[in-house]
Structure 1
Amino acid sequence: MKSSRAFIYFLYVFLTYSSTLLYAQNKEITLEEIWGGEFSQERMQSLQSLKDGKSYIVQDYDAASQDMKVEIYSYKTGEKTGTLVSSKSILGLDMFQTFQLSTDETQLILGTEVESIFRRSSQGIYYVYDLSSKSLSKIDEGKIQSPTFSPKGGKVAYVKNNNIYSYFISTGETTQITSDGKKNEVINGVTDWVYEEEFAFVRAFEWSPNGNQMAFLRFDESEVAEFSMDLYGTYGQSLYPSQDVFKYPKAGEDNAKVSLHLFDFEGNSTSKIDLGEYEYLPRLKWTADENLFSVQSLNRYQNELKVYLVDTKTNEAKLTLTEKDTAYVDVTNDLTFLNNNSFIWTSEKDGWKHIYHYAQDGSLINQVTSGAWEVTKFYGFDDRSGRIYFQSTENGSVNRDVYSVLANAKNKLRLTTKTGTNRADFSADFTYFVNTFTNTATPAVYTLHKASNGEILREIKDNKALLNTLEAYNLSDKELSTIEVNGNELNMWMIKPPNFNPENEYPILMFQYSGPGSQSVSNSFFGTNDYWYQMLAQQGYIVACVDGRGTGYKGRDFKKVTQKELGKYELEDQISAAKLLGEKPFINKDRIGIWGWSYGGFMSSNAIFQANDVFKAAIAVAPVTSWRFYDTVYTERYMTTPQENAAGYDENSPITHVDEFNSGNYLLVHGSADDNVHVQNTMQLIEALVQANKQFEWRIYPDKNHGIYGGNTRLHLYTLMTNFIKEKL
């Protein structure tokens, strides 16, 4: 009798444990978990190498003591070795948000009340803090932009109200370098909206090596048309909306007139540098020579880039290198001057992006890398070893590895060993690098390596906690493959339902971005959207992504085939891929959906309008609906101007194809304060759909920018999209 009771009790415990374990391994993802940060990866804080190459610093906030610190760590051991600065120890400053270290590492610029302007720009109240004397001085009473130490640390240059100033630290005196700056008319020392967005830089001044001279750009945007956005605010704030008015040059319209100037501190004089004919000046950089700096110019088509070396003793600009392409030339940050003023340059001129070494006079010394693969990141040059460090796709276009090679192109070393995505952060003297590794099954793993041979010294972080969390969920693999479409092997990922049965038929949602040079298919771990895709897979959907023609990392010709016809070949590839996927026995070809954001929204709109017979439903978030509405730099790079290429603009615009759309399963979403892809795009498309009597769904998020986030906004948006997919697909 006792043994029978014991057996029954054992059986009860076993079944209870088994069912609990089964349940724990079959949890389903919720939107609240995704947007509540449940699946966040543990990341390394942004680190900055100290010049000794043996230590690095990171910013850290202690919430308990409300103390902002900059801590010092050893590369070799990972142990904290000291504190560079602590807000609690600074007399007269309770807190700081940002910091910048002087070249000699004796002073800091500390930022407070820092607020964003556009994507990369910000302004705030800034101080100089001396680490030795513990003295604190405010640079300016008002909010300023881009404060930057001179190389020897005696001065700080900054921009205020579109003018450049120099603050002399020892005396506290300020010199005004320009005086004609005026909002929406003239900008000195920082870039206008379109340069910031498309050339990806804000500070438009450069100190000479000894701090006696400064090269800077001046933007005359008085002839650039203004764009305005109403800002509605929160209920109870104001009875009337405010308005944000800024200069935005749309395709075919006037750009700001940009000029190059040189300020001499000893003579307190400014000179204008003559560069001949050009449209854009996208890069400034000083060489190792005190009296020699470089400037890059582009024509309006952006298919001819010139590198000039400017002699500050004569103000003469000498043309050193010209890069041409039948389509366009990419602007990069790769130009690196060596001690003898020879320089490293990257180019696609052999059909793939590779590294080149040029003499100061522009003559080619040698091509450093070559092959049917691309250099995807230039990390730098170590003048002690003569080695160049870079990242590339040599191990496959969806993968990234870190390499080094001598400047004479010999003795190339692969420094990373695991197949996936490897990214390096090198110490100042190239003794070490921190590698970040990830693949489709592995969240970020951070390891320390010797830069000389890639030897791993220690593991820093591994995200096992996230993997342990994910074990409780019923997740699917993110499968990488290729699909042959229109004569090309295209990269693809696919996520299938966890209980996938090849005998069943499933609806499929296709995601794509498709923009020039982009990549959405890579051997890397889940991003936030991937958890949403996993949630949809748990609910019976297949989700897939195909990188079509026009995307990046498969050579110059593959990327630039879309020239003058953005949306044509990309759409052909998405349609053909959808048809091929629809032929698979486990995919229901009558239930294929497509979605995308920004360029991807442009694509998904075209897909549902022009291929109703292929796609049953589509979602477009913040889409470009006509390239006529987008900015000069981006649009004309690929399309020339609408005056020259009207057919290319209009034939691939979703607005042109509304009559082909069968009313129904289309969701259109935009933020009303999108300074990038203006809500005008969506409003014009809405009007075209209304006048064509086409039924659809749409949603405007008030005062939200291109990212459509803040508070519960993302949760609301993804709930909207999830419900739409479940109802329509």
Structure 2
Amino acid sequence: MATTFPRQHARTHRFTLGAPRSFTVAPDGSRVVFLRSRSGSDLANLLWVRDVADGQERIAADPEALLGGAAEELSPEERARRERSREGTAGVVGYATDTSVKMAAFALSGRLFAADLLTGDSRELPTPTPVVDPRPAPDGRHVAYVTGGALRVVAATGEGDRALAEPEAETVTWGLAEFIAAEEMSRTRGYWWSPDSDRLLVARADDAPVRRWTIADPANPQAEPARVAYPAAGTENAEVTLHLLSLDGARTEVVWDRERYPYLARAHWSAAGPPLLLVQTRDQREAAYLSVDTATGATSVTHTDSDPIWLELFGGVPAWAPDGELVRIADQADQADQDADLDGGARVLMAGARRLTSAALHVRAVLDIGDDDVLFSASEGDGDGSAGRSAPGDVGVYRVPLAGGEAVRIADEDGPHVASATRGGGTLVLSTAAPARPGSRVVLLREADSARIGAIESYAETPVLATAPRLLHAGKRRIPAAVVLPTGYRESDGPLPVLMDPYGGPHGQRVVAAHNAHLTAQWFADHGFAVVTADGRGTPGHSPGWEKAVSRRLASVTLDDQVEALQALAEDFPLDLSRVGIRGWSYGGYLAALAVLRRPDVFHAAVAGAPVTDWRLYDTHYTERYCGTPQDDPEVYAESSLLTDEGLSLVDPGSPHRPMMIIHGLADDNVVVAHALRLSSALLAAGRAHEVLPLSGVTHMASGAEVAENLLLLQVGFLKRSLGVAGGSEGTQGHPLPSKGEA
């Protein structure tokens, strides 16, 4: 039987299995450590080491051998960590090394292992279980880890295991990121070693103030429901404090104004300076960069930022440069960018008071800070802070001198692409994806002259179909968009029904210059659709003003931009605007449901996967950034949500009823299933027919192969029925669609 795209897409985890990832380069540049599974359908990652000089690769840790062939067993803490990081693979899913990159520590089945990266030998260290997030000290002599909410440390020889801090109550954890930090701040860690390896900076989180929600498994009524601490908008967060814990048992609390700055967003500790913290106010409009006195725990303000809308968080910063200057990413509004709709502004790289990059680059993240320069990722702009004049979705790797000078792009190929990198000792690992070829290519470059000195092979499968997305800007706003037509489509074939396929919201860029990102769109297109993906205002990669335009008006802005992109693209592409469907997951699911409820004149069917339907039910750090609080801004929540306490929100009772399929995992602890159930109840009360597909035991990721495969098949079937596409029934029972040409 021939392999179908849905089946291949599902069992390869969207073609990511077998691809090398998570690179670490030794400080002398002699070896590269990375993760990779044995094939494009193998879930279990192995830990590999590649010698740069001779190109030889060897396995440093094989999960199957280390576990004796036994299946992995994951603790609730580890499952939660993987859910927060959207990690769906197995084996060695993460590791940490000492400074010399001679030793790595990792957890398997809740057990602690250490790998000698020079010899390739791995062994288990005897400790209490289950082990979570083990990290070696910089000197490699000890390994810290978390178990049962306690932070413990053990010698690399396996001796002297002991607790440095133990929970005082069931609600307390030491050394773990609390829910809101891991889910919304991208702070996945809860402790940091000192450069001298003699102490640790450790977060203590107490979620006692957080409301408890219940997540049940209706398919297994004999199972006890899970009680989870969920900080919904306008309610209490976990209480987070910081402490310096010495290996000799000494303990010092780190003190800052936690009443003013309750969010611990970032922590950094390197040889270039004392511990560095980034803390935020609850409304995220103010932030302070704090330097920690390790003798007393007192903090001093190094820098403060403020923004009338919100302050974004970035990867790799804040951090100290080797000369002690503060490296950060900042939003700046130049006079030329003060346009009426705030779509401009510049996102720049700073070292102290020096601006290292111009508005021609929209800085995304800092990848590494060297002795003389900074390695970072950025999108190209046109010099006015808008990353909209170059090809949409182009993300490059750059380096710029710390002393000031021109930023130079590092590339191994021409044309738009999406790249990331890491480096050490003059060796740079560059990973690149491009529209013209499937997957990613990983090459080793000599930093001095960017000469290629090797490549790391990917075992990822080649997709059974290929795509050639048209990447362009749509409408007066120049909305980044991708258009995918059926394979072999000819103009004489006539207009096509349209499938809008957005995420459309914050932190979710879908229009990217990479082949695999558009494969699912191609599969839908080959079923008879013109598939359009549009990254309207609110999505990343464009400009600060573009992202912040959704403040206090999530629904109207994101929906308006989908409509504008659709109508503008119809002038140049064969789009049948009388048959327009929309599908999405998470924020995209919210946008899909919003589209058919508030603009049924434009959208005729929707697939809403795991949608947020009432923002009062979503978490604090994310929701309050865009909507304020339900107590202070009730009108914002009423306008942005699909629901009110009385039913559907801002829906004309006389508007056409459009078919909707609602999909939700019953085990979702991020967007809980209450969102979908309340939407279904409101639709029923309004007499609006719809379909609900509950996924038993499935979380927000919905990454199981069987589920992922059949979700694609069920969605395309629903859309073909609803839009009258050949191969499906005409319309949906009880709610016929307008015939072709009718609005």
Considering the TM-score relative to the shorter chain, is it more than 0.5? yes
- 1:575 matched to 2:570: no
The code of the aligned residue for 1:491 comes to P
Residue 180 of structure 1 aligns to which amino acid in structure 2?
A: P
- Alignment partner, residue 478 of structure 2: 489
Instruction: State whether structure 2 residue 713 is matched by structure 1 residue 719.
Output: yes
Give the alignment of 1:532-547 within 5 angstroms.
532-547=520-535
Task: Indicate yes or no: 2:265 matched with 1:282.
Answer: yes
Aligned to 2:290: 308
Shift of 1:169: 4.5
2:579 maps to 1:591: yes
The residue type paired with residue 712 of structure 1 is E
Q: Which residue of 2 aligns with 1:548?
A: 536
CA distance in 1, matches of 2:611, 2:501: 14
Q: Is the 8 A contact 1:592 1:615 kept in 2?
A: yes
Number of the residue aligned with 2:506: 516
Deviations 1:432-485 (A, max 9, x none): 33342412555433333222333334555589983xx75xx6x6531112211x
What is the 5 A alignment of 1:114-153? Answer: 124-128=110-114, 136=123, 138-153=125-140
Q: Map 1:350-499 onto structure 2 (within 5 A).
A: 350=333, 351-358=345-352, 364=353, 366-383=354-371, 386-394=372-380, 396=390, 397-416=392-411, 417-441=413-437, 443-458=439-454, 460-461=456-457, 466=462, 477-484=468-475, 487-499=476-488
Amino acid at match of 2:481: M
CA, structure 1 residues 640+489, in 2 after alignment: closer, same or farther (shift >3 Å)? same
**Correspondence for 2:33:** 57
CA distance in 2: counterparts of 1:202 and 1:262, whole angstroms? 19
- Distance in 2, Cα, partners of 1:688 & 1:171: 58
CA displacement, residues 659-718 of structure 1 (integer Å, 9 cap, x when unaligned) = 545334111111111111010101111111111111111111111011223241112211
**1:194 aligns to 2:188 (yes or no):** no
Cα 1:180–1:435 change in 2 (3 A) is closer
SS in structure 1 of the partner of residue 361 of structure 2: coil
Q: Which residue of 2 aligns with 1:641?
A: 629
Give 1:297 shift: 0.9
Judged with a 3 Å threshold, the aligned counterparts in structure 2 of structure 1 residues 242 and 464 are, in CA distance, closer, same or farther, namely closer
Deviation at 1:28, TM superposition (A): 11
The question of whether the paired residues in 2 share the 8 Å contact of 1:673 and 1:704 is answered with yes
Structure showing greater Rg? 1
Whole-angstrom distance in 2 between the partners of 1:459 and 1:208: 34
Whether the 8 Å CA contact 2:210–2:237 is kept in 1: the answer is yes
Within 2, Cα distance between the matches of 1:217 and 1:464?
38
Which whole-Å CA distance do the structure 2 matches of 1:90 and 1:621 have between them?
38
TM score, norm. by length of structure 1: 0.84
Give 1:563's aligned amino acid.
S
Could you tell me which residue of structure 2 aligns to residue 346 of structure 1?
A: 329
Match of residue 10 from structure 2: 35
Matched-pair contact (CA < 8 Å) for 2:252–2:297: no
Does 2:184 align with 1:208?
no
C-alpha spacing 1:677/1:637, structure 2 compared with 1 (3 Å): same
CA distance in structure 2 between the partners assigned to 1:648 and 1:562 by the alignment: 11
TM-score by length of 2: 0.83
Structure 1 residues 340 and 651: CA distance shift in structure 2, 3 A: same
Which amino acid in 1 is paired with 2:25?
S
SS in 1 for 2:697: coil
2:656 to 655, 662, 668: 662
User: Among 148, 155, 161, which residue is 1:161 paired with?
Assistant: 148
SS of the equivalent of 1:379 reads strand
Q: CA deviation at 1:110?
A: 4.4
Counterpart of 1:179? 166
Structure 1 residues 216-260: Cα deviation after superposition (integer angstroms, max 9, x where no partner): 222222111011111256xxxx66133221111000001112222
Rounded Cα–Cα distance in structure 1 between residues aligned with 2:97 and 2:582: 47
Q: Which amino acid aligns with 1:559?
A: E
1:500 positional shift = 2.7
For the residues of structure 2 that align with 1:546 and 1:406, how far apart are their CA atoms? 35
Choose from 278, 288, 293 the match for 1:296. Answer: 278
Q: Which amino acid aligns with 1:654?
A: L
CA RMSD of aligned residues (A): 3.2
Q: How many residues align?
A: 667
Deviations 1:312-371 (A, max 9, x none): 12322110110111111112232222333223211112422211111xxxxx2x111012
Distance 2:623 2:66 in 1: 48
Note if contact 2:357-2:407 (Cα within 8 Å) is conserved in structure 1. no
Larger RCO: 1 or 2 (CA < 8 Å, sep 6+):
2
Q: 1:536 to 1:29 in 2, by over 3 A?
A: farther
Percent identity (aligned):
24
1:305 counterpart SS class? strand
Q: Is the alpha carbon distance of 1:90 and 1:314 closer, same or farther for their aligned partners in structure 2, counting shifts above 3 Å?
A: same
Distance 1:678 1:83, change over 3 A: closer
Q: 1:448 to 1:560 in 2, by over 3 A?
A: same
1:510-556 deviation digits (Å, cap 9, x = unpaired) = 111111243211221123xx333323322321111111112122211
Q: 1:699 to 1:443 in 2, by over 3 A?
A: same
Shift of 1:83: 5.7
Per the alignment, residue 338 of structure 2 pairs with none
- Partners in 2 of 1:463 and 1:168 — Cα distance? 36
* Counterpart AA for 2:627: M
Q: Aligned pair in 2 of structure 1 residues 92, 108: CA closer, same or farther (>3 Å)?
A: farther
Please give the per-residue CA displacement for 1:599-628, whole angstroms capped at 9, x wherever unaligned: 011111111001111111111000000111
CA distance in 1, matches of 2:636, 2:426: 47
Asked if the contact 2:15/2:460 (under 8 Å) is kept, the reply is no
Q: Distance in 1 between matches of 2:485 and 2:103?
A: 54
1:584 shift after superposition: 5.9
Change (3 A) 1:710 1:588: same
**C-alpha contact (below 8 Å) 1:204/1:284 kept by paired residues:** no
In the TM superposition, what whole-angstrom CA distance separates every residue of 1:295-325 from its partner, at most 9, and x where no partner exists? 1110000111101101112322110110111
In structure 2, how many angstroms separate the alpha carbons of the residues matched to 1:596 and 1:561?
Answer: 21
Q: Residue 317 and residue 522 in structure 1: after superposition, are their counterparts in 2 closer, same or farther (change >3 A)?
A: same
> Which deviates more from structure 2 when the two are superposed, residues 703-712 or residues 593-602?
703-712
Amino acid at match of 1:175: R
8 Å contact from structure 1 (residues 390, 404) kept in 2: yes
Report the equivalent of 1:18: none
Q: Shift of the alpha carbon at 1:53?
A: 0.7
- The one-letter amino acid of 1:514's match is G
Which residue pairs with 2:79 in the alignment? none
Which deviates the most, 608-617 or 339-348?
339-348
Query: What amino acid is the match of 2:509?
Result: Q
In structure 2, runs of 5+ residues without a counterpart are 73-90, 334-344, 382-389, 644-648, 724-743
Describe the shift of the 1:87–1:138 C-alpha distance in structure 2 as closer, same or farther (beyond 3 A): same
The residue matched to 1:512 in structure 2 has which SS?
coil
Q: Is the 8 A contact 1:671 1:701 kept in 2?
A: yes
Question: Which residue of structure 1 lines up, in the alignment, with residue 611 of structure 2?
Answer: 623
Alignment partner, residue 683 of structure 2: 689
